[in-house]
Amino acid sequence: MLKRQNPRTPKHSKGLAADGGALSMSHNDSRSFFNLSQLVLSAGQIKPSPALKHSKITYFEVEIVDVQSKKQICIVDKVPPASTLLDVKHKFHKACPQWYPSRVGLQLERNGPFLKDSVSIQSLAVSSIITLYFTDLGQQVGWTTFFLTEYTGPLLIYLLFYIRLSTIYDQVESRKNFRHPVVHLACFCHCLHYIRHLLETLFVHKFSEGHTPLKNMIKGCAFYWGFTSWIAYYINHPRYTPPSFGHKQVSYAALAFLMCEAGNHFINVALAHQTNSGNRTCFPSPTYNPFTWLFLLVSCPNYTYEAGSWISFTVMTQTLPVGIFAFLMVIQMSLWAQKKHKLYLKRFYPEVRRKAAMIPIIF
């Protein structure tokens, strides 16, 4: 019998198959390379280059209108959205050089409050055109200049009366009458009070943005300088009589004065530390320092200590001008404390609601 042989692929068929395989592999490689290239190109187009990205920025136009005449003063154009009101004031100053930024008061409404310099223009915009009302605030001075001028005057004026100038007192009477020790102590306490204020103005207090009108500084200086002249004239007069209860009255009053001065300083340092640290989410809490424990009873202990200083000075010197000045200072500081207490109630209600403004007994 003849055996059936398995058909075998001819040689030329094998060659074709090999060639076909090679062609197939070559085709797949080129196709894979093409797909990879497309993937790279498509991935590169997901995030276009910033240079090719075109973004349209919307600028604002700020119309400055006089609050009295309602006439347009100028238009500040091309104001970026990130600009603040201070930037607008600087551009307005370039257009109108007679009004520098600190002198310009801008309002969103005619009877509305003056806007702060830190306000963003974008927050005021309802459309691309913003109308602001202009008010000339007059000559302005910085807060540091304000307080340095206000406190330097009493310090120098009191010393002029203390040395008993011949143009103020009779020299024969001045040499004849002996100075009571309370006169020297009063000079020391008065100078200490204003030196503390000056040093705290320079190194402790952080004043808010903005300025104050020059007329306010003139009124403040007239008040402090005038009362200092009246007080110093009586205490340093050759015919000045010492307090009724003598040494005990002077000693206890002087001790109370020094304690109030120390307490006022430590309270101001605590408030400044809270501002510098940026922690304004809670009301200032008392520390290990006993002078700060007054925070447990009142929201403005610095005014409490200030009032205590002048009341103690009144008892120590027992003069009518000091008593009148202390009375006016207590009234003024009570008004400041009430205003500040209302702000504290809005921001720190749970912590402040059981505290008094300045006097611990009155809730």
User: Which pLDDT band holds residue 1 (cuts at 50, 70, 90)?
Assistant: very low
Using alpha carbons only, give the angle 92, 98, 100 rounded to the nearest 5 degrees. Answer: 55
Residue 363's Cα: distance from chain center in Å?
Answer: 28
Greater confidence (135 vs 22) lies with 135
Considering the entire predicted model, what is its pTM?
A: 0.78
The secondary structure element, H or E, covering residue 334 is: helix 320-347
Greater confidence (330 vs 166) lies with 330
User: Which pLDDT band holds residue 3 (cuts at 50, 70, 90)?
Assistant: very low
Greater confidence (10 vs 65) lies with 65
Asked whether the beta carbons of 299 and 282 are under 8 A apart, the reply is no
* Nearest Cα residue to 135 out of 72, 214, 68, 75: 68
SS (H, E, C) 95-155: HCCCCCHHHEEEECCCCCCECCCCCEHHHHCCCCEEEEEEEECCCEECHHHHHHHHHHHHH
Residues 6+ apart with CB under 8 A from 66: 72, 73, 133, 134
- Collapsing DSSP states into helix, strand and coil, what is residue 63? strand
Average pLDDT over residues 1-18: 44
Average pLDDT of every residue of the chain: 84
Cα–Cα distance, 351 to 219 (Å, whole number): 36
Quick: pLDDT tens for 227-242.
Answer: 999 999 999 999 999 9
Greater confidence (157 vs 34) lies with 157
Quick: pLDDT tens for 208-218.
Answer: 767 899 999 99
Cα–Cα distance, 244 to 229 (Å, whole number): 24
Please state the domain extents for the chain.
Answer: 60-138, 140-241, 242-362
Which CATH number applies to 60-138: 3.20.20.70, 3.40.640.10, 1.10.3720.10, 3.10.20.90? 3.10.20.90
Quick: pLDDT tens for 170-186.
Answer: 988 888 888 999 999 99
Quick: pLDDT tens for 318-361.
Answer: 999 999 999 999 999 999 999 998 988 888 877 777 788 898 87
Dihedrals φ, ψ of 46, to 5°?
-65, -45
Q: Tokens 């952080």 appear where?
A: 206
Statement: residue 126 has pLDDT above 90 = no
